[in-house]
Structure 1
């Protein structure tokens, strides 16, 4: 879509500035999508997402600014350190479910939840990038027969081109947790048993429900949170030391 710069506000706060590439800015349909991304981010802004500071979808070079969340993406963390320990998986499960609950409460489907759209920060996991999010009550701008999202985290109904509801995010959520436990994204039709076997025992049941083929049988975020909080007892730092070091380096003063 564009380039993201690290910026500084007049009040010395660090911000992330997304500037759209000129080739996309010339496309009126893309500008509609970008304006929708801004609106979705404004509506969702909360503790587990990045708050919008300012934006202009009509500028010659469309742009928008969000708070800067210091920390690597979950994709970077897994690429360097591999599977996460149980305490980290639980914290991820709770934090991302809480973020999705807030997103869905605003009537938004993220549609592209994946490790690179989750920032690992000192305050817990933060969900970002609503570039292809869609309001429940809006008209899709996606072209006919084009599947939007990232292979390996797409729900079966997304792959089939069917209606996409909040249940699709729960499927992606389940796949993110399996990925964080050491599984690679699975090709369509491949058994999930090997991926589920990598999860801590107390996570298996709820993630299995998230990954069911029928979206009507998947739990809501509230149900996920209720089940997880019944079995989880926080213990110590949620991040292993090498990952904590990664996060601390992102939080260090930037010149």
Structure 2
């Protein structure tokens, strides 16, 4: 029998990490990237666990980065709903700006697919409907997420939650530059350097749903980054393995022309009707396969234990206590999460021998940020 899942990978704080941001003592690191870090913290008022994001932890925050972070705070506040993380506080003007949201103790779709396999049938439809509801909620408020992907969809048993508004934009907020999320899940118009719209989120949703049921991005595997960019720009898809039950939805979402894609509300209506005809189940555990619920329950259990443990708060004026990884058994190396095909594609180096199509696309992205793994609030 294998080892039980342990929940989120929470790293100890390091010497250059703060012990507190705003009114939130910090417990450990949830994620780190080139644009900043996300910490696990605790509210001093009610003990609630929080995810606290701060940009550029090792450098002085530039005026441009501060404006970008302030815009993210505004969008995150506007995006609050049943399917997103609630904002608990923020200060974009602090020496080290921060944004605190409720901590959702749940794995991402990326981790679930990597460790527990793909979904099929009613389970896939149930997750799909929750993801569509999250996007529809944003679009009704005039917000385009711009980075819908498996890493940014968390799955507690209450249903999917969409996180990371670092590159989102609302209709009345000015963008400073084009920013692409993970290339394999971005839309053709974003890959071509054109403005993104609500239809761009729908394309990214289609790529995410394909990953959910097939286990890879909807493009040939093993490509260099610039080559992949050209495939995305032309919606040059490889849909081998797409099961019949989700094929109509995924194919419509992955239409090359934005006007040919359905809206989130149209998808929501069709999926609600379809699921209403399915047998009624008492709880989400009935929809999901056991390997998925084991991982989801491990995250929830870890969240409850951290919330109930007063030692997880700061233990002194210098350093809060930090949860440690359990040591591996003697003679056995520490386990590493399985790498997905998408992650292997994303980290491939760019060869000087780019294709003609790559050279045609690349100049349009001068000054744009194209990241293989966009930094988000926290990754499951």
SS at match of 2:185: coil
**TM-score, scaled relative to structure 2:** 0.62
Question: Within the alignment, does 1:133 sit opposite 2:168 as a pair?
Answer: yes
1:199 matched to 2:231? The reply is: no
How far does residue 235 in structure 1 lie from its aligned partner after superposition?
A: 5.0
CA contact (8 A) 1:52 1:67 kept: yes
User: Aligned partners of 1:234 and 1:222: how far apart in 2?
Assistant: 23
Q: Is the 8 A contact 1:87 1:234 kept in 2?
A: no
- Deviation at 1:238? 2.7
Decide whether the 8 Å contact of 1:183 with 1:198 is kept in 2.
Answer: no
Which 10-residue stretch deviates more, 170-179 or 156-165? Answer: 156-165
Structure 1: gaps (5+ residues) = none
SS of corresponding position for 1:88: helix
The aligned counterpart of 1:178 is 210
Question: Deviations for 1:119-156, whole angstroms, at most 9, x for unmatched residues?
Answer: 111211100000000112332211xxx55111111111
Aligned-partner Cα distance in 2 for 1:192–1:222: 27
2:123 is equivalent to residue 79 of structure 1: no
Aligned position for 2:265: 222
Matches of 1:86 and 1:170 in 2, distance apart? 21
- CA drift of 1:215 comes to 0.1
Hey, what does 1:212 align to over in structure 2? 255
1:26 aligned partner: 61
Higher-helix-fraction structure: 1
Give the match's secondary structure for 1:5.
strand
Q: Any conservation in 2 of the 1:147–1:161 contact (CA below 8 Å)?
A: no
Structure ID, larger Rg? 2
Aligned with 1:243 (options 272, 287, 292): 292
Q: How does 1:59-74 map to 2 (within 5 A)?
A: 59-74=94-109
Q: d(CA) in 1 for partners of 2:251 and 2:125?
A: 15
Structure 1 length normalisation: TM-score? 0.92
User: Which residue is equivalent to 1:7?
Assistant: 41
Deviates more, 1:167-176 or 1:132-141: 132-141
Most deviating of 239-248 and 42-51: 239-248
Provide, for residues 215-254 of structure 1, a one-character-per-residue CA deviation record: whole Å limited to 9, x for no partner: 0111111100111122222654232112111111111212
1:192 to partner: Cα distance: 3.8
Q: Is the 8 A contact 1:87 1:235 kept in 2?
A: no
Q: Distance in 1 between matches of 2:272 and 2:293?
A: 24
Q: Which has the higher contact order (CA 8 A, sep 6+)?
A: 2
Residues 211 and 42 from structure 1, CA distance in 2 versus in 1: closer, same or farther, beyond 3 angstroms? same
CA contact (8 A) 2:37 2:57 kept: no
The alignment partner of 1:98 has SS state of helix
CA 1:234–1:129: 2 relative to 1, 3 Å: farther
The DSSP-based 3-state class of the residue aligned with 2:100 is: strand
Distance change (3 Å), C-alpha of 1:50 and 1:200 = farther
